[in-house]
């Protein structure tokens, strides 16, 4: 497989995996927990989901697929509720599906094209790398907040637990 296809496939799969983890978190939180803020400078899980939707749409929809730039970034952080978990999940699911379809359909030639997003001039490859990295950071924040709010282990790495051996070393 060519290197660009490895990069594109991995980017798609990573976004899907992280999206699934966010949905798991949203399923564990009630409305008040989704919109809880630790302080005036902290973002609620709901704000982070809205922010990820805006970021994906702007960086990949606009920056890569050349769709209109409709993002109003300040609204993502200004929200203080009013959106249920089911709607947040649907918005995120739709934009992740749109984003991964765009990424999966790219050619090697497109990866080296330049684009401009938020005053940054970069290649399409760099825009994808930014989006996956950014999505990962905020997914980590959402997981951390969910653990703090529920006291639960998310179980994302339970498959790594080693079974206990009953045998003794001779």
- Nearest-CA neighbor of 128 among 59, 80, 74, 68? 59
pLDDT interval class at 165 (50, 70, 90): low
- List the beta strands (DSSP E) in 57-113: none
Distance (Å) of CA 14 to CA 44, 133, 140 = 23, 10, 13
Cα 115 to its chain centre, rounded Å, is: 21
- List the beta strands (DSSP E) in 64-153: 114-117, 120-123
Please name every residue paired with 114 in a beta bridge, in sequence order, or none if there are none: 123
pLDDT at 39: 85
Phi, psi of 118 (to 5 degrees): 50, 45
**Integer Cα distance of 52 and 48 in angstroms:** 6
**Integer Cα distance of 33 and 130 in angstroms:** 28
Tens-place pLDDT, residues 131-160 = 999 999 999 999 999 999 999 999 999 888
* Structural domain spans, the chain: 3-153
Domain covering 3-153 assigned CATH 3.20.20.105 in the classification: no
Tens-place pLDDT, residues 87-129 = 999 999 999 999 999 999 999 999 999 999 999 999 999 999 9
- Nearest-CA neighbor of 51 among 72, 76, 74? 76
The SS3 call for residue 83 is: coil
């Amino acid at each position: 497989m060519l290197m660009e296809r490895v990069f594109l496939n991995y980017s798609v799969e990573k976004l899907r995996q992280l999206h699934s983890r966010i949905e798991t978190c949203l399923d564990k939180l009630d409305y008040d927990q989704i919109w809880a803020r630790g302080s005036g400078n902290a973002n609620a899980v709901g704000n982070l989901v809205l922010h990820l939707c805006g970021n994906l749409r702007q960086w990949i929809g606009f920056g890569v697929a050349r769709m209109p730039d409709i993002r109003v970034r300040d609204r993502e952080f200004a929200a203080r509720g009013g959106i249920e978990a089911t709607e947040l999940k649907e918005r995120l699911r739709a934009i992740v599906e749109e984003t991964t379809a765009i990424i999966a359909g790219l050619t090697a030639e497109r990866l080296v094209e330049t684009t401009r997003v938020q005053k940054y001039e970069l290649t399409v490859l760099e825009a994808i790398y930014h989006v996956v990295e950014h999505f990962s950071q905020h997914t980590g924040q959402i997981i951390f907040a969910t653990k703090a709010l529920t006291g639960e282990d998310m179980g994302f790495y339970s498959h790594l637990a080693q079974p206990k051996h009953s045998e003794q070393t001779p």
